[in-house]
């Protein structure tokens, strides 16, 4: 596959570099789910810190293939990642630049392509991969205000903003909680079509509106029902439920829906 060919070439190019300690691969490679539509996720571990200088990151990326474009990942909360597009063949490659100390804090245990003097393997043995899970109290504290916000947009006729906001709720609330219910990592709405049970997927799809006032209200109410169900299945007694806010917001929901 083109991803493996690229990774093998990157290994050959980077191995002689004295600043390079290791090269690792993560993502769908780890679970043998890579297909023609997969990107390639690389971690480049270096002696000297690189991620503070975008130009140095770009210089490394340009060495690895027919480089078309690259930009840092502040929009996904990770400026140490360079998101790249290569040509011949067209391939999306994410390269995360870390030092050995930074590598200890990780969400996955990678497959190693380069490991000079066994330093990366030692770091793996002395650290634990921890994938970030949502804080249920954090969600509960915000959810009803989010529903009220969506109702404000629908009430004012800002349907496109309300439509987009439903996507936010799926990414931050419904998708992660449904993944947890189905014993998956809470990766937003990644691969929900194959990772969720059919009934759960259908409930998630009911939160997708059309550009229509009543459809937006219906999908939002379906989202509330889905959240309440997931909350009852997943949250323990340590989570303080905001039932008073729930009631006030849903009363306002009925008011908005009654207007024609």
Q: What is the full DSSP assignment across 6-40?
A: HHHHHHHHHTT-TTEEEEEEEGGGTTT---TT--E
Nearest of 155, 135, 100, 160 to residue 236 by alpha carbon: 135
Query: Could you tell me the pTM of the whole model?
Result: 0.88
Give start-end residues of each CATH 1.20.120.330 domain in the chain. Answer: 136-258
Nearest of 10, 187, 171 to residue 94 by alpha carbon: 10
Question: Is the pLDDT assigned to residue 128 strictly greater than 90?
Answer: no
Strand partners, 107: none
Question: Is the pLDDT assigned to residue 260 strictly greater than 80?
Answer: no
**Domain 136-258, CATH homologous superfamily name and number:** Nucleotidyltransferases  domain 2 (1.20.120.330)
Q: Span 82-86, mean pLDDT?
A: 97
Question: Is the pLDDT assigned to residue 251 strictly greater than 90?
Answer: yes
**DSSP assignment letter at 192:** H
Higher pLDDT, 12 or 107: 12
The enclosing H or E element of 236 equals none
**Dist. CA 207–CA 217, nearest whole Å:** 10
Arithmetic mean of pLDDT over the chain: 95
**pLDDT at 190 (0 to 100):** 93
b/e map of 197-213 (b: 16 or more CB within 10 Å)? eeebbebbeebebeeeb
**pLDDT at 130 (0 to 100):** 87
**pLDDT at 29 (0 to 100):** 83
Give start-end residues of each CATH 3.30.460.10 domain in the chain. Answer: 2-125
For residue range 26-38, list pLDDT tens digits in order: 988 888 888 889 9
For residue range 88-119, list pLDDT tens digits in order: 999 999 999 999 999 988 888 899 999 999 99
Residue 113, classed as helix, strand or coil, is strand
- Number of neighbours of residue 123 by Cβ within 10 angstroms: 19
Task: Find out if CATH 3.30.460.10 is the number for domain 2-125.
Answer: yes
């Amino acid at each position: 596959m083109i991803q493996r060919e690229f990774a093998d070439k990157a290994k050959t190019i980077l191995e002689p570099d004295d600043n390079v300690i290791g090269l690792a691969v993560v993502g769908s490679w780890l679970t043998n789910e890579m297909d023609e539509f997969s990107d390639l996720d690389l971690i480049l571990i270096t002696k000297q810190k690189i991620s503070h200088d975008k130009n140095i990151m770009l210089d490394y990326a340009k060495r690895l293939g027919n480089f078309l474009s690259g930009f840092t990942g502040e929009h996904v909360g990770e400026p140490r990642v360079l998101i790249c597009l290569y040509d011949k063949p067209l391939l999306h490659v994410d390269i995360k630049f870390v030092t050995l100390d930074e590598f200890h804090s990780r969400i996955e245990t990678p497959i190693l392509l380069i490991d000079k003097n066994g330093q990366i393997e030692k770091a793996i043995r002395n650290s634990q991969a921890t994938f970030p899970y949502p804080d249920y109290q954090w969600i509960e504290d915000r959810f009803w205000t989010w529903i009220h916000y969506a109702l404000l947009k629908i009430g004012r006729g800002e349907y496109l903003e309300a439509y987009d906001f439903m996507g936010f709720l799926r990414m931050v609330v419904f998708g992660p909680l449904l993944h947890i219910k189905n014993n998956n990592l809470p990766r937003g709405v990644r691969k929900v079509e194959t990772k969720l049970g059919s009934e759960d997927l259908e409930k998630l799809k009911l939160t997708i509106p059309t550009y229509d006032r009543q459809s937006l209200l219906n999908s939002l109410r379906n989202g509330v029902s889905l959240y309440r169900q997931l909350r009852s299945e997943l949250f323990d007694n340590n989570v303080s439920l905001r039932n008073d806010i729930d009631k006030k917001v849903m009363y306002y929901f009925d008011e908005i829906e009654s207007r024609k």
